[in-house]
Amino acid sequence: MNVEALKEKAKNNFTSGMNCSQSVLLAFVDELGESKTGISRETALKLSSSFGGGMGRLREVCGAVSGMFMVAGLLIGYDLKSEPDAKAKHYELIQTMAKRFVEKNGSIICRTLLGLDNGTKDFKPDNPVPETRTEAYYKKRPCAELVADAAEIAAELLLV
């Protein structure tokens, strides 16, 4: 699997209107297919739809990061039949993915990545209405690059 192709697919998904989480997850579902991921494109779109904007525009964990974690779960996640240490191994992988994302981008928190962090820890939900996707929107948002970074990290750790 070509890492660059997955990065470009994730970016194209975002610029075609998908949220960050959908962009990453669908890059893998589209490239690997239902037989390897275990879910259809439609299911992947719906499953990841709540995680855009840092979980429903709450600006918490970045949707690209959530999508990256979903890919890990689909490809090598654990279930009730897994070995006893499977959960710890999986969580170690998730923490490694998060660490790499932070090394590249400084945070896994949406509001911080978007420069919206006002330094308070008070929970203040954002407006639930997504911004219209315009050229100006894409210029001010780092999201296309963030989804590419998440796709790259997932590909490097899961597919190589």
pLDDT at 146: 98
Q: Rounded to an integer, what distance in angstroms lies between the CA atom of residue 158 and that of residue 25?
A: 13
Burial of 159 (0-12, 13-18, 19+ CB in 10 A): middle
pLDDT at 85: 94
Mean pLDDT per block of 10 residues along the chain (160 residues) reads 93 97 98 93 98 94 98 95 92 98 97 81 72 87 97 94
The one-letter amino acid at 124: K
Structure tokens at 28: 């893998």
The alpha carbon of residue 5 and the mean position of all alpha carbons in its chain are separated, in whole angstroms, by 16
pLDDT at 118: 66
pLDDT at 109: 96
Taking phi first (over 0 means left), then psi (-120 to 50 degrees means alpha), and beta for anything else, what does residue 17 get? left
pLDDT at 119: 58
pLDDT at 129: 86
pLDDT at 98: 98
Rounded to whole angstroms, what are the CA distances from 1 to 7, 31, 48, 95, 156? 11, 8, 22, 23, 10
- The answer to whether 44 and 9 have CB atoms below 8 angstroms apart is no
pLDDT at 120: 58
- The answer to whether 90 and 72 have CB atoms below 8 angstroms apart is yes
pLDDT at 28: 97
pTM confidence score: 0.93
